[in-house]
Amino acid sequence: MARASPAASSAAGSAASRAARPRERDLIAAWGAGRWRGWPLRASDGAAYTIVFQGRPGGSVGPDFRDAVIATAEGERLTGDIELHLTPAGWRAHGHGADPRYNDVALHITLTASHAPTGAGACALESGRRAPLVVLAAQPPPGAAAPIWPCAGFSAAAGQLALLRAAGWARFEQRVAVLAEAAAQAPAAVVAGWSPADGALCAALAEGLGYGRDRAALRLCGERLAGGAAPDALLTTAARLPVIERRRLDGLLALLERWNWASPLAALTAALEAGARRAGATGASAALTEALRVTESGAVSARRARILAFNVALPAIVAWARSQPRASGPRALERLALEAVAALPGLPSNQITREMTRQLGLPRLPGGALAQQGLHHLWARACREKRCAACPCASPQPDPLTSGANQR
């Protein structure tokens, strides 16, 4: 039998050694699969934290997992981010302590404690807070399988789409309440022909253009426009904004120019009613979306326009109609707006809708804006903190929070 050469044996040994060496991506995969879910982990601060939910994948920048849910020994629930490394030294080596994107880290998880810098226990954050360190090698081994979620059978349950749409109505009504309150508290209009409701709508449109970006900065721009700020001066002071925010501010200004700086509420209502005359509720939702779209430089895409339609324009129209004397005109407008909500096509997916689709075991993102926004509502109401007892998906029964909206 031929023997392998010493060089070949050495190469094979090196390959085996590399294969056995732990890899950070394997640790991240095991954490994401929920391997430590349901198990208490002792941290550098001496406390034991039970992992209720390992978090959702964080993407290419920032912490490895977002919105993890952790229970303390006293029963308090904490939500925060999770960062994983093979050793504690990874935190400093990657510069996380000076990066504000890591300020919400609740636990720093490492595989071993080897090669830790002197005094490495809790990890310093840019905010000045310190995140406890958990070394997995120092913990009892986790169980063979993570606990099963109460919503594990939701994808096969009857009435799942109706439940999601009912949750979507609840989210829409929350948006109506927010816009109604903003209009009631808005100062007297400065722009000619605008009501306080128009000023509130302008600020909300600006903020909606900032969803996923710097929404606070864009909302401030909308408030300044409603307060009579000159567009040229606003663009000059907003020059420090990132490129995408500046482009979206250009989109808002393009919309106001298109409407000749007349009432935004009146312009959007006119588009809604014109679309309904052509093709009913479907035409109304399509016309409203087109009225919010700005094709120049992609400032407001069709996808972004649908987001604005559901979260800003239609809630503002419903809020205004309900604030008027209950004559036939406002009642008909409210009814038309609600029909347009029901007919609005699906919105772009995002981290929350993708996480909820996975959490509920759905084969794909549900169709239609209402059902998709229902995923957002369920996430905010129960799933973000994993309050499963408060979630209708655990046992799909009529839910007091959404059953009224489901009767439309």
203-237: pLDDT as tens digits? 999 999 999 889 999 999 999 999 999 998 888 88
Mean pLDDT across the chain, nearest whole number?
Answer: 88
User: Residue 395's pLDDT is what?
Assistant: 65
Distance between CA atoms of residues 353 and 164, nearest Å:
12
| Confidence check: pLDDT of 310 > 60 | yes
User: Residue 400's pLDDT is what?
Assistant: 40
Higher pLDDT, 73 or 404: 73
Q: pLDDT tier at 405 (50, 70, 90 boundaries)?
A: very low
Distance between CA atoms of residues 256 and 250, nearest Å:
10
Distance between CA atoms of residues 402 and 408, nearest Å:
11
Do residues 53 and 31 make contact, with C-beta atoms less than 8 angstroms apart? Answer: no
Residue 396 CA, chain-centre distance (Å), reads 24
pTM of the model: 0.82
Dihedral sign, CA of 352, 358, 360, 364?
A: positive
> In terms of DSSP H, where are the helices of 108-214?
160-185, 196-209
| Confidence check: pLDDT of 403 > 70 | no
| Residue 382 CB partners (closer than 8 Å, separation 6+) | 388, 390, 391
Distance between CA atoms of residues 382 and 355, nearest Å:
14
* Region 350-368 average pLDDT: 93
C-alpha R_g of the chain: 26
At 56-114, the pLDDT tens digits run: 998 778 899 999 999 998 889 999 999 999 999 999 889 999 999 999 999 999 999 86
Q: Of the given ranges (59-68, 167-176, 286-295, 304-313), which has the lowest mean pLDDT?
A: 59-68
